A and B are shown apart, each in its own frame.
Chain A
């Protein structure tokens, strides 16, 4: 049996500006509507859930500062994902690189912290965290550029290895990272010089502004520099790049290493910021995976990632509060993230193509 009409996609020569802005907005809206229907169907009040999430995540002083605080790490993992995605390299192991950034940062804070003043220690800690993230992606980057081994699977497998590593460092007796006199296994706090204090009475740390500036800097790098241009050329047409003498291997390597470093930096911001120690709770939070969603919603636009990072942080903060104040499971926040991305992907088709339904007869002619 054949459908009486066919759906036709016409590639748009140029996407109208208003569509580029409208599509993400409508995707979020549609996901929220779908979520509302789901909430009502499962016996929760949608209006109450949403208004609670909105006020706890965005509209109150506590809420918005907490959201901006959480967005710090999400923007970091978001730009990490986008940096590789834009070259069609799918580093989906940002999660593991983030753990390594935390391990590296915690090591620096514990080993070097007592000997260095704060203004040296903080930048050094962030740098070592980024370096640890880059080390973690080195093997996938190397085999991707030399042998063509799929980076999707290798980066992902290493995430599980990294997660075991974090648990090992915390649970092993006499571990360097473990606090000595505590009832249950937990990380040792880094030296005072390695921890920043939050702004006022909030949970927002100055690293937020560092990360925002970094995102804007990368935006500039990709749009304006020769390195950014090379990435675009390889992404658009690897063959053309080859003929133009652009080394795809080398660029693949550096893009992936930088992507890992950015995710590692995200882990290090957690050490100087809210955690101040290696904490195995990180393996349950999924900040690295969330970065992929953040990047995808912003369509790998580094300035857009700041916005989508804050949006998703707010959904999480609002969701967490929800479970405390009402009995609605906090996972509605995660579900909505997934739904928003699914709708955004669908909406993308309408941005790129003119979609029309045509009667079968008309096609036959």
Chain B
């Protein structure tokens, strides 16, 4: 067994986990406010290609990231307008966003097909710390966005569970009628956190594109990470800290097929390996919805239902 491959693969898992943390945090904020946005995959793709094109044209990664974030928020804005203002079905609107976003990303990405990113986000170095065997490259060899993502998750946890504003968000997802009775606007809170969620997803998509010197290629670009992020939120019980660990676990399973292939471990046919993380998520979801463990999950009670004030 080659330990180098395993260290590299663990470091890789963290990179995938970063995209997952950002995208899933976006979904988490949105869902905590009571809005289900299934459009994550389409938003990731759109912000990925946007950041690619902008970074390629301007030569600045940061400008690419910024535009990627904005695009994520714009698409989330469409969802917020349709579902919160016009009270459209959240599930159908999210799916429409996936299809629209996929088409849009492909359309915009046509000229970039097969091109690679000019510059990539570079890993940080902490000198001697990074050189520590095994632990060094994994803990101290990541890039700034990865550290930022973990920090954002920790801040998000503090915000949601320790501040008044966070309480308002959670209450909007659990019991919008009470929030409304307090004189707060349910619609405005829901729109704000859907937009914030979109921006986080946009950051995730841009990071995913710019962190690796990969070519723009639709199928390989996000590979269903948006959908995995949605199941990760459920897996983490709508809690940001649990989400960090879940993301690392998911990141590891997603990346495992490649490592096993490199190690030529073939107890499972290689074409079947990519299905492992999906099966693992499925089993986890079913196990977590057993009657005894349902309270561990703690889904926002008003998730997916539009709020209509009873005016009679």
Which residues of A come within 8 Å of B, CB atoms? 7, 9, 42, 85, 90, 92, 139, 143, 147-150, 152-154, 156-158, 160-161, 164-165, 167-168, 171-172, 284, 289-290, 292-293, 296, 329, 331-339, 341-342, 345-346, 348-349, 353
Contact = CB atoms under 8 A, between A and B. Distances in A.
A290 B234 CA distance: 26
A333 to B, nearest CB: 8
5 contacts: A42-B108, A154-B282, A160-B278, A335-B106, A337-B100
Given A147-B291, A154-B285, A338-B100, A331 B106 contact: yes
Interface stretch (B90-98, B115-123, B128-136, B241-249): B90-98
Nearest to B104: A335
B33 to A, nearest CB: 18
A149 B278 contact: no
B295 to A, nearest CB: 13
Contacts of B269: 168, 172
Interface of B: 38, 42, 78, 81-82, 85-89, 91-93, 95-104, 106-108, 110, 219, 224, 227, 230-231, 234, 269, 271-275, 278-279, 281-282, 285-286, 289-291, 294
A152 B304 CA distance: 12
Contacts of B38: 92, 152
10 A-B pairs with least C-beta separation: A338-B100, A335-B103, A334-B103, A331-B106, A349-B86, A168-B271, A338-B99, A341-B96, A164-B275, A345-B88
A338 B230 contact: no
A23 to B, nearest CB: 12
A164 B224 CA distance: 13
A153 B96 contact: no
Given A139-B282, A160-B274, A334-B102, 4 more contacts: A153-B281, A157-B285, A161-B282, A342-B97
B309 to A, nearest CB: 10
Contacts, number: 147
Contacts of A9: 87
B107 A331 contact: yes
Contacts of A152: 38, 91
A158 B282 contact: yes
B289 A148 contact: yes
A339 B97 CA distance: 8
A284 B282 CA distance: 23
Contacts of A85: 92
Give the interface SS of chain B, mostly helix, strand, loop or mixed: helix
Contacts of A353: 87
Given A152-B38, A160-B278, A345-B93, A289 B88 contact: no
Nearest to B299: A150
A289 B99 contact: yes
A149 B97 contact: no
Give the interface SS of chain A, mostly helix, strand, loop or mixed: helix
Contacts of B88: 345-346, 348-349
B92 A332 contact: no
Given A284-B219, A293-B96, A332-B107, A345 B275 contact: no
Contacts of A154: 282, 285-286
Given A149-B286, A165-B275, A168-B272, A345 B99 contact: no
A292 B97 CA distance: 12
A329 to B, nearest CB: 4
A147 B293 CA distance: 11
A335 B96 contact: no
Contacts of B273: 164
A337 B99 contact: yes
A19 B275 CA distance: 46
A168 to B, nearest CB: 4
Interface hub of B99, B286, B289, B290 (most chain A Cβ within 10 A): B99
Given A171-B271, A289-B98, A156 B227 contact: yes
Given A292-B95, A329-B107, A335-B100, A147 B289 contact: yes
B92 A329 contact: no
A213 to B, nearest CB: 27
A338 B82 contact: no
